[in-house]
Amino acid sequence: AQSVTQLDSQVPVFEEAPVELRCNYSSSVSVYLFWYVQYPNQGLQLLLKYLSGSTLVKGINGFEAEFNKSQTSFHLRKPSVHISDTAEYFCAVRFPYSGGGADGLTFGKGTHLIIQP
């Protein structure tokens, strides 16, 4: 069974500093990888996704993530954070379409990014 581990439940960072949110997954087959962001009292918004190809993926709001197959990781990074980046961040995986069976996203438990002025 696939699983997703977000190693930090909370990450405090000073404004304009770089940040990395860590995500590791376990799966015996190739998966699709996603990062979603949840701002307070809102739904989930896709930041970026990895399907195949280049291992460095760029997303919205200046975020990027790197897929590392050997380490089964998909860490999220931003070189300089802003107060507006304060939110909950979720890493998720999904099997490529298999024509049947469970077809949902498996989420990590989330990382709360706290930006300090």
Partner 1 sequence: EAQVTQNPRYLITVTGKKLTVTCSQNMNHEYMSWYRQDPGLGLRQIYYSMNVEVTDKGDVPEGYKVSRKEKRNFPLILESPSPNQTSLYFCASRTGGGTEAFFGQGTRLTVV
Classify burial at 61, counting beta carbons within 10 Å of its beta carbon; exposed 0-12, middle 13-18, buried 19 or more: middle
Based on the shown chain and the rule CB under 8 A, indicate whether residue 44 belongs to the binding site for partner 1.
yes
Of 15-23, 28-36, 55-63, 70-78, the segment contacting partner 1 by CB under 8 A is 28-36
CA distances to 2, 22, 45, 90, 97 from 42, in Å: 27, 23, 9, 14, 28
- Rounded CA separation 34/102 (Å): 17
Based on the shown chain and the rule CB under 8 A, indicate whether residue 90 belongs to the binding site for partner 1.
yes
- Find the shortest distance in angstroms from Cβ 70 to partner 1: 23
Residues that bind partner 1 (CB under 8 A): 4, 6, 9, 32, 34, 36, 42-46, 49, 51, 90, 92, 94, 96-97, 100, 102-105, 107-110
